[in-house]
Every structure is written in structure tokens, then in C-alpha cells.
Chain A
């Protein structure tokens, strides 16, 4: 009899189920945080542990995507700019409804800083991801 190999179909199916389970957990955690923050308006100390867990996982996933070159093959700032603007608008709307701004000037400054940071961080991530892809080709 040949050497036993682990059934690939079972491994694949198990992985798919684990992936779906993780997605449900991840987005469930996000909705739980949003609910605590915006619906019942709990103080952050009440759910800090969940927030740390959620952001920790998010940063891990982002870092792995970038370091493995899976995020993108090449830097595309033309696509990133409208995405950043939309993100900044959403950020402003949410903060507006939470009465975070005293004046329009404050809102503009806050929105501009968010836009620059969002755009800049994504650009840096795209750069490192594309560089990793170039390194793979050189191996």
C-alpha cells in the first residue's frame, strides 16, 4: 500500500469552513464594537478588550498582506485618491453626527488630516507590497 497522504479535499473543506468562521467572527466583532460605540454609547473602557482584539487582528492581516505582496502588484494612486476622499467624507459625516466639531474650520482640518493620513498610509502599503512582488521575481 502507498504511503498515506492526508486527504486534500478534507483539508481544503476544513480550511474553507475555518475561513468562513473567521469572517463571521471578525465582522461580528466589528458590529459589536460599532453597536457599543454608536448605539448604546458605552464608555470605551467597557469594551477596550474587544477593540484591542479587533484592531490587533486587523493590523496583523494588513501587515501580512503587505509583507507577502498580496495587497497589490503595483502602486495605483489614481485609484487610491477617490477612495481616500470617500473615506474622509464618511469620517466627517460620522463625526458630524456625533457632534465632534465646534466650527466648520475644525471639520475641514480634521477631514484633511484624515485624508492625508489615509492616502499616505495606503500608498506606503502599496509601495511595500509591490516591492515584495518585484523581489519575488528576482529570486
Chain B
């Protein structure tokens, strides 16, 4: 799964730690999600969307959907 979390986070000038604190996970988890090494559950995806004022479509998609 690909995501735009890092861009969205930087738009709001949030650090990884701040975003992690907001959604209730560790900084390492946010880092791994941004890197694409960890796929968050739907629950966590939604928490991240609420924290960054974005929708699921804005932040997450799968490679096949791009074509």
C-alpha cells in the first residue's frame, strides 16, 4: 500500500512524534507506515486521516489503482 502521509504531515508542520502522539502509536510505527514497510489497520488509517484532516483516498492507495 502506498501513502502520502509524510506530505500531509509536513503540510501541517507536524513531526512524526507529534503525529504518533495524536493517533496513539509509537514514532517508529509512523516512520514504518510512511516508508511503506507496515500496512496499518483500517482503524489506524482512519485515526491518521482525522489527525491530518484528510480522507482515506487522499492518503492511501494501492499501485494497481493508479492506472
Residues on the A chain within 8 Å of B32, using CB: 9
Per the bound structure, the CA–CA distance linking A10 and B30 in Å amounts to 12
Per the bound structure, the CA–CA distance linking A4 and B24 in Å amounts to 5
How many chain B residues sit at the interface, stated as a range, is 10 to 19
Chain B residues within CB distance 8 Å of chain A: 21-26, 28-29, 32, 38, 40-41, 43-44, 47, 51
User: Is A8 part of the contact surface with B, judged by Cβ < 8 Å?
Assistant: yes
Q: Ordered nearest first, which 4 A-B pairs have the shortest CB separation?
A: A5-B24, A9-B29, A7-B25, A4-B24
CB < 8 Å A-B pair total: 33
How many chain A residues sit at the interface, stated as a range, is 10 to 19
Per the bound structure, the CA–CA distance linking A7 and B21 in Å amounts to 11
Residues on the A chain within 8 Å of B29, using CB: 7-10
Docked-complex contact A9 and B38, CB < 8 angstroms: yes
